[in-house]
Chain A
Amino acid sequence: NAGVTQTPKFRILKIGQSMTLQCTQDMNHNYMYWYRQDPGMGLKLIYYSVGAGITDKGEVPNGYNVSRSTTEDFPLRLELAAPSQTSVYFCASSYRGEGNEKLFFGSGTQLSVL
């Protein structure tokens, strides 16, 4: 039972570098989300997707891009890393029939930009 899998778990980037955070789920969920969590703060929604080929911005989308070419995968792209993007990133998914109450989360990616 894999659920939601995120890779990598940890990463250190230099300012201006690019990287992709991978997220995949094996539950055939149609909704997927990317959140970030800064120290002492709640989770903030970056992007979300309601199905393959459909993505939309959340509260804090600047500096990020996403794609959803398959139901399973929802990668998050950082093009020009900045120190303000140092955070813990969580990917989540849910099934339409469950409404919005049961999100399944990955274990997170801790990213530092130096």
Chain B
Amino acid sequence: GDSVTQMEGPVTLSEEAFLTINCTYTATGYPSLFWYVQYPGEGLQLLLKATKADDKGSNKGFEATYRKETTSFHLEKGSVQVSDSAVYFCALSLDTGRRALTFGSGTRLQVQP
């Protein structure tokens, strides 16, 4: 079945460091790919998305490129801030009737001042 694999956390970085969170997927068909973020005490919210191969999603300084050849959608940010501390979820969706998402296990990011 469809699945998403993320790197285990926590990832601990100093402020202004470069961030990469790896995400790979397995899917039948051509999924759309997403990154969701969960800040402490809140629900998940959409961070960025890409709907086809070679698309780049970006938001709030974060970027991810849909790589069909490596079935990957790695999240990157050039300079993290303390306020980026959160749990990041990679997810995929196939265009089926229920329109539900398949999530990875989440990666906790801790940014130290």
Q: Measuring CB to CB, which residues of chain A are less than 8 angstroms from any residue of chain B? A: 3-4, 31, 33, 35, 37, 40-43, 45, 48, 50, 56, 58, 90, 92, 94, 99-108
Contacts and interface: CB of A to CB of B under 8 A. Distances in A.
A106 B43 contact: yes
Interface residues of B, number: 26
Nearest to A100: B99
A3 to B, nearest CB: 8
Interface stretch (B11-19, B67-75, B78-86, B101-109): B101-109
Given A58-B100, A101-B49, A42 B106 contact: yes
Given A100-B95, A105-B38, 19 more contacts: A4-B43, A42-B4, A42-B89, A42-B102, A43-B89, A43-B101, A50-B99, A58-B98, A90-B43, A92-B44, A99-B95, A100-B100, A101-B46, A101-B49, A103-B46, A106-B43, A107-B41, A107-B43, A108-B43
Interface of B: 4, 32, 34, 36, 38, 41-46, 49, 51, 89, 93, 95, 97-106
Given A100-B32, A101-B32, A101-B34, A31 B45 contact: no
A94 B43 contact: no
A40 B43 contact: no
